[in-house]
Amino acid sequence: MWLYLVALVGLWMLLRLFRERKVVSDLHNKYVFITGCDSGFGNLLARQLDRRGLRVLAACLTVEGAEQLRSKTSERLETVILDVTKTESIVAATQWVKERVGNRGLWGLVNNAGISVFAVNEWMSKQDFATVLDVNLLGMIEVTLNILPLVRKARGRVVNVSSVMGRLTLVGGGYCVSKYGVEAFSDSLRRELSYFGVKVAIIEPGGFKTNISDVKRLADNVKKLWDQATSEVKEIYGEKYLDSYVKTITSLTDTCSEDLSMVTDCMEHALTACHPRTRYSAGWDAKLFYLPLSYLPTFLLDALYYWNFPKPAQAL
């Protein structure tokens, strides 16, 4: 009995490996539009796809970022300035893409642009949440809705960058909220677009060393939000709690991987494979720790949180 079961599992894995190794043809004539290419995953993916021979349309937030990227790539790669929080910028970038792809349509859209703010919810204002949501979720949605007709024309791919924190909430603030939203939007989009031959994939990276996980920036953001909290809230939590919270948040980045290609390889596969996956867990911590952790009962997850995070000064 066990032998048959092992044989079936082995055959299934071989079939899956065979299917996933099949690559889409005529890649050198396919256009891919990537947001957030100034640094991090977007920057590396743009260079990686350019080396692969695809025609990369890279959206950067700054002129400096665009110039730096062009200096490291071939003449095929083109850049455009895009602020995903501004409708007029998205409309202009969409027109720019349309002029380049013409009647062939856009093969791939990679929604990669993102920011992070981690802190205690009670220290924040509505605007602090809105700042993150405008980039990570609402900006991604607006870019997708504008670009979608071009992707549908090519029967192409949409790749949305989420996070393991779209499966597992570790900290307060808008980041986890936005990534849960990315998951929900991507799932509904995948089902709707399947009728038109468009495939939607979600990338769920674990911890990687990018601007989002920069230790100094994380610590400065937490302290800035603490400073804007009311005196009553500060008294409830206490200065000692602030110090411990900052240490806990920044310590999470100590285990972050520097190998960003673990993420961009997943993105590349989602764009170039004949049979891409629905979800990609990028990084060993995502596969072996965060993802399994997300399936634990809630009371166990809460216990792990209480064990790792400090208690407020006036906690019961």
- HSE-CB at 137 with a 13 A cutoff on CA atoms is 20
Q: Could you give the angle at the alpha carbon of 45 between the alpha carbons of 141 and 104, nearest 5°? A: 65
Known active-site residue 237: no
Residue in the block written with tokens 């009311």: 230
* Selected catalytic residue, list 31, 175, 180, 280: 175
Q: What does the DSSP assignment read for 118-172?
A: -S-GGG--HHHHHHHHIIIIIIHHHHHHHHHHHHHHHT-EEEEE--GGGTS--S-
291-296-302-307 Cα dihedral, nearest 10 degrees: -70
What is the torsional sign of CA 196, 198, 199, 204?
negative
Contact status, residue 119 vs residue 173, Cβ threshold 8 Å: yes
Crossing angle between the packed helical segments 40-52 and 63-70, to the nearest 10 degrees: 30
Q: What does the DSSP assignment read for 194-263?
A: GGGT-EEEEEEE--B-SGGG-HHHHHHHHHHHHHHS-HHHHHHH-HHHHHHHHHHHHHGGGG-BS-THHH
Determine the 3-state secondary structure of 108 from DSSP: strand
Contact status, residue 162 vs residue 203, Cβ threshold 8 Å: yes
Contact status, residue 262 vs residue 283, Cβ threshold 8 Å: yes
What are residue 112's phi and psi, to 5 degrees?
-110, -25
Q: Catalytic residues, which ones?
A: 175
